[in-house]
Structure 1
Amino acid sequence: MTVLSARPLDPDQADFLDLLADDGSMLAMVHANDFRDACRTVADRDDGWVHPSKVSAVLHERFGEINPQSFSARWAPACGPNGFLDKTDVRAPIDGTHSRGNSNKDVVLRRWRDWSP
C-alpha cells in the first residue's frame, strides 16, 4: 500500500525541489538568487542597464548550459511590483551566442530599480 501525505513546503527546500524536478542537469535550472545576482552583475557593468543577453552570458559562464524556459520565466517576477528591475522602452539587438534563432531580433532592456552603483 502507498500512502501519500501533504504538508507545507519549507522555504529552504525550494531550490532542492527544483533540482529534483530538473531533468536536464543539476545546474540547468535558473534559480531566483542566481538570476538576481547575474542581473546585478550586468547592472554593475552597465550603469544600471540590464540586457537579457548579457545576463544569459553571465549565467552560462557560471553554470554552463541553462534551461531556456527557466531563464525566460524569471523576467516577469523580476519586473513585477516586488521585483528588482523596471522594464523600459529601450530596445537592443539580441546576442545570438546563447539564444538559438533569435539573433536577428531586438529585446527590451531592463533597468535596475532605484539604481545606485
Structure 2
Amino acid sequence: MARNVKPELLVELDLNSPTFQSAWNNLELIEQEKAIATFEKIMQLTWDQVYRDKGLRWEKIHSIQAPKGIQVLYSFRVSKSIRGIGFREDHFLRVLLIQPDHDAAYGKK
C-alpha cells in the first residue's frame, strides 16, 4: 500500500438552493422518497464512482449556460422520472434543481 496517499472523500450534498427547495416541495411524497434514496446513494460514493455509475447517468449539459461563477452544469438521474441539475465544488455536489420532466432539465421545452 502506498504511503501518504489521501483517501478519496465521499461526495457531500448541498440541497440548499431556493430553486431546488421550491421544486422539492412540489414533488409527491413517493418521488421525494425515490430522490432521498438516490441522494443517500450518492453520499456513499466518491466522485470517481459518481462519474462511472451507470444508474446516475452523470453528464455535462451543453444546452444551458451555467450561472455566473459556475463553470459547468451537470445532469444526473434522480429517479426514472426526475433529473437533477447541479455542479461540483470541491467534494460537494451542489444541487440547483430537480426536474420531473427529463426534457425540461436540458432546456429543450
Same fold (TM over 0.5): no
The alignment's TM-score, normalised by the length of structure 1, stands at 0.28
Could you say which structure has the higher helix fraction? 1
Which structure is larger by alpha-carbon Rg, 1 or 2?
Answer: 1
Of structures 1 and 2, the one scoring higher in RCO (CA 8 A, sep 6+) is 2
The alignment's TM-score, normalised by the length of structure 2, stands at 0.29
